[in-house]
């Protein structure tokens, strides 16, 4: 009986599953098309084993569980097709099939253990069922295959036991194969594999970085240091064609088809939810739910089938969508999109390499550019950027007021060029940040750096406009800044603002502006490395911690330089639990400080709790926005100091100064410093 039923079961499941899969493909193809490169399918195994596992392996136990379960299943299924489907009942194959089922069983046990009391981040519902289905499939397949190796052959001839076994296997196959095509939890394997192949950011994968496993290279070689952090390989937003018929994403079908495919790959593991600062602060955003809502929109229906945590303060089950219906507000409320700080923590954690921030900015673009419904303060900032080139609506000529007594050279007076163009950023208008800038100028002078500023020719980099979805204003600012840069000669741009650093360094190249841009932490570390700064290490022992800015760390992979600077000052850094690539956002990025969506707590307050847990009395920062957000936390609290301030305070003035200003000709000096 088994020998007739099993092949029917297996092939029927494969056929039905395939039909479902084709329908799924049709759902993805509703999105905007781009040229297909079928060859990319060949990349799946490599990208799966290498890149995806790199992320999964951050949770060791889960990684092992997944290897056993998924590996066991794939092998068991393939063998089952041969052995039970085509009836090639070879004992060796049977043995392998037993081994694979056993491995899967062990993995499934671990899955089930995690599911006894699932953590909040996990979804229940079908995902809870999947853990049982895995057991059913592995046990059923194991037992039903025992006769192949000659064990208990008589037992399964017929009768109740055989029916029971068939039922078990049928359950498993239904979940694993049919469910894969028809949108069950196993969909993630099918969609996930194709997502790896057709990912919109191929730079994220090792096959695009053949030299990524390199021996210790140049310490400050940008590529090398970046590659240690794969998350920052591709972080620039995609430029928007301003001549397109519709700007941004209004309906699910307005996404690129690769994005829809990516949403479908989500395994609802909730890692993104667990790290999202807005979710933790009780703001109505949950990146996992957002991705699931995109799936609902793509396939059509309501969110009532969602079995995980929702958006704080918004009931699950009340929203609905369809691929050709607007997303906001019937599927997702606008405030959900505006709560995002674009900190990229979710993208960093996502084992399926889903790009939440791209999706959020795409939808914001539509709201801002087509609907004109940017939150009030954000809209005011954009109007100011259009009228005055800075978000505060201030006189751009006052950009240098804070430096009236410093006699900072203007690049306009240096036609022969300078080594460093110091980019001030909009922090130049902020009294708190002016202290940082003064400290930075002091350091540059102490290090005999040949530098100059643009003064009132400097405009906002366009960061805030772009994150608020106003790509038009961003592109205008970018083009004007690039035109300004092209009039002057300099070797590199140095800035104390990670947002400018990211935008100029990473996003301007798409508009024809390619520059060497360095964050001041990197540059100061280089000065230390070259022995050009001397500091007195403080006698007072104080505990200090360092807060990684999102746009410096996760976006650009610079985790080392700030710590090197602190080490050079003789300070011991007590790391926060969430630091480095897992740093928690200060709450100030992505225009979130402007949209100011209400929640239960404030993100900077939560970050200050992280700081306090280290026992630090000072938190070193490296971003004007982080400074402002953290200083907004009520006292008493640890004090907030920019790296530049800490260094400037410790400087020992050297008498040599003025004479040997490094001329542009010597500026290659830096590049020759050995690691």
Q: Which of ligand SF4, other proteins, none does residue 288 bind (CB under 5 to 8 Å by kind)?
A: ligand SF4
DSSP 493: E
Q: Where on the phi/psi map is residue 76: left (φ > 0), alpha (ψ -120 to 50), or beta?
A: alpha
Peptide bond into 3 cis (omega under 30): no
Torsion sign over Cα 510, 514, 516, 518: negative
Q: Work out how close the CB of 348 gets to other proteins at its nearest, in angstroms, rounded to a whole number.
A: 31
Q: Which of other proteins, ligand SF4, none does residue 394 bind (CB under 5 to 8 Å by kind)?
A: other proteins
Asked if 271 touches ligand SF4 (CB under 6 A), the answer is yes
Stretch that binds other proteins, among 259-267, 280-288, 382-390, 602-610 (CB under 8 A): 382-390
DSSP 284: S
Q: Which of other proteins, ligand SF4, none does residue 342 bind (CB under 5 to 8 Å by kind)?
A: ligand SF4
The residue with tokens 């667990």 is: 274
Cβ neighbours for 672, distance < 8 A, ≥ 6 positions apart: none
Q: Work out how close the CB of 330 gets to other proteins at its nearest, in angstroms, rounded to a whole number.
A: 16
Q: Work out how close the CB of 328 gets to other proteins at its nearest, in angstroms, rounded to a whole number.
A: 12
Nearer to ligand SF4, 129 or 476 (CB): 129
Q: Work out how close the CB of 464 gets to ligand SF4 at its nearest, in angstroms, rounded to a whole number.
A: 15
Stretch that binds ligand SF4, among 218-226, 251-259, 285-293, 633-641 (CB under 6 A): 285-293
Nearer to other proteins, 381 or 440 (CB): 381
Q: Which of ligand SF4, other proteins, none does residue 346 bind (CB under 5 to 8 Å by kind)?
A: ligand SF4
Tokens of 166: 């068939």
Q: How many CB atoms lie within 10 A of CB 213?
A: 8
Asked if 468 touches ligand SF4 (CB under 6 A), the answer is no
Nearer to ligand SF4, 180 or 346 (CB): 346
Distance CA 114, CA 306 (A): 20
Asked if 401 touches other proteins (CB under 8 A), the answer is no
Q: Which of 206, 325, 373, 631 binds other proteins (CB under 8 A)?
A: 373
Q: Which of ligand SF4, other proteins, none does residue 345 bind (CB under 5 to 8 Å by kind)?
A: ligand SF4
Distance CA 147, CA 153 (A): 5
Asked if 596 touches other proteins (CB under 8 A), the answer is no
The backbone torsions φ and ψ at residue 126, rounded to the nearest 5 degrees and listed phi first, read: -60, -30
Q: Where on the phi/psi map is residue 580: left (φ > 0), alpha (ψ -120 to 50), or beta?
A: left
Q: Which of 221, 395, 514, 668 binds other proteins (CB under 8 A)?
A: 395
Q: How many residues bind other proteins (CB under 8 A)?
A: 23
CB 508 within 8 A of CB 478: yes
Distance CA 64, CA 74 (A): 15
Helix (H, G, I), strand (E, B) or coil at 573: strand
Nearer to ligand SF4, 140 or 589 (CB): 589
Cβ neighbours for 656, distance < 8 A, ≥ 6 positions apart: none
Asked if 374 touches other proteins (CB under 8 A), the answer is yes
Tokens of 311: 């958006």
The backbone torsions φ and ψ at residue 236, rounded to the nearest 5 degrees and listed phi first, read: -75, 140
Q: Using CB under 8 A as the criterion, which residues of the chain lie in contact with other proteins when the complex forms?
A: 242, 246-247, 368-374, 379, 382-383, 386-389, 393-396, 470, 472
Q: Using CB under 6 A as the criterion, which residues of the chain lie in contact with ligand SF4 when the complex forms?
A: 266-272, 275-278, 285, 287-288, 291, 340-346, 349-352, 354, 356-357, 585
């Amino acid at each position: 009986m088994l020998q007739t039923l099993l092949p029917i079961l297996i092939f029927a499941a494969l056929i039905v599953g395939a039909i479902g899969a084709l329908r799924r493909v049709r759902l993805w193809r509703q999105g905007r098309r781009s040229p297909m490169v079928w060859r990319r399918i060949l990349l799946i195994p490599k990208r799966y084993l290498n890149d995806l596992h790199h992320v999964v392996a951050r949770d060791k136990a889960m990684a092992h569980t997944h290897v056993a379960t998924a590996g066991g299943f794939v092998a068991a299924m393939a063998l089952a097709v041969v052995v039970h489907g085509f009836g090639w009942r070879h004992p060796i194959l049977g043995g392998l099939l037993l081994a694979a089922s056993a491995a899967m069983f062990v993995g499934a046990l671990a899955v089930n253990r995690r599911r006894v009391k699932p953590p909040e981040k996990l979804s229940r519902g079908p995902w809870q069922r999947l853990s049982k289905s895995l057991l059913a499939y592995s046990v059923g397949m194991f037992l039903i295959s025992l006769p192949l190796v000659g064990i208990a052959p008589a037992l399964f001839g017929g009768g109740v036991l055989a029916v029971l076994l068939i039922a078990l296997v049928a359950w498993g196959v239904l979940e694993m194969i049919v469910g894969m095509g028809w949108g069950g939890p196993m969909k993630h394997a099918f969609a996930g594999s194709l997502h790896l192949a057709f990912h919109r950011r191929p730079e994220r994968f090792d096959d695009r970085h053949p030299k990524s496993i390199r021996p210790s290279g140049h310490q400050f070689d940008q590529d090398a240091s970046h590659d240690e952090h794969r998350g920052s390989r591709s972080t620039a937003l995609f430029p928007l064609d301003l001549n397109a018929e519709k700007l941004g994403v209004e309906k699910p079908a307005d996404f690129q088809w690769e994005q829809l495919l990516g949403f479908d790959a989500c395994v609802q593991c909730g890692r993104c939810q667990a790290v999202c600062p807005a979710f933790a602060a009780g703001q109505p955003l949950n990146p996992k739910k957002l991705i699931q809502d995109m799936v609902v929109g793509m396939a059509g229906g309501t969110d009532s089938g969602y079995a995980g945590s929702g958006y704080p303060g918004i009931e699950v089950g009340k929203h609905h969508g369809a691929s050709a219906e607007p997303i906001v507000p019937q599927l997702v409320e606008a405030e959900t999109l505006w709560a995002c700080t674009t900190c990229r923590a979710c993208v960093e954690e996502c084992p399926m390499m889903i790009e939440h921030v791209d999706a959020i900015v795409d939808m914001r673009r539509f709201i801002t550019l087509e609907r004109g419904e940017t939150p009030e303060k954000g809209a005011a900032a954009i109007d100011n950027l259009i009228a005055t080139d800075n978000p505060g609506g201030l006189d751009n000529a006052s950009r240098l007021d804070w430096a009236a007594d410093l006699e900072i050279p203007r690049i306009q007076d240096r036609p022969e060029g300078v080594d460093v163009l110091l980019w001030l950023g909009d922090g130049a208008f902020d009294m708190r940040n002016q202290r940082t800038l003064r400290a930075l100028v002091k350091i540059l002078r102490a290090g005999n750096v040949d530098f100059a500023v643009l003064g009132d020719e400097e405009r906002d980099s366009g960061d805030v406009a772009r994150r608020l979805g106003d790509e038009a204003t961003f592109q205008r600012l970018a083009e004007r800044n690039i035109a300004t840069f092209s009039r002057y000669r300099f070797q590199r741009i140095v800035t104390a603002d990670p947002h400018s650093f990211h935008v100029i360094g990473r996003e301007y190249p798409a508009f024809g502006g390619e520059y060497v841009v360095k964050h001041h932490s990197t540059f100061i570390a280089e000065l230390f490395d070259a022995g050009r700064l001397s500091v007195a290490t403080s006698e007072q022992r104080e505990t200090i911690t360092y807060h990684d800015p999102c746009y410096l760390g996760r976006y650009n992979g610079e985790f080392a330089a700030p710590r090197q600077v602190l080490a050079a000052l003789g300070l011991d850094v007590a790391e926060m639990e969430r630091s480095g690539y897992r740093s928690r956002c200060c709450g100030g990025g992505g225009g979130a400080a402007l949209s100011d969506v209400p929640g239960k707590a404030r993100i900077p307050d939560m970050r200050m709790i992280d700081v306090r847990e280290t026992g630090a009395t000072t938190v070193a920062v490296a971003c004007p926005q982080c400074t402002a957000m953290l200083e907004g936390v009520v006292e008493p609290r640890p004090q907030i100091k920019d790296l530049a301030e800490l260094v400037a305070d410790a400087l020992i003035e050297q008498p040599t100064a003025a004479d040997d200003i490094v001329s542009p000709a010597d500026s290659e000096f830096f590049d020759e410093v050995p690691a």
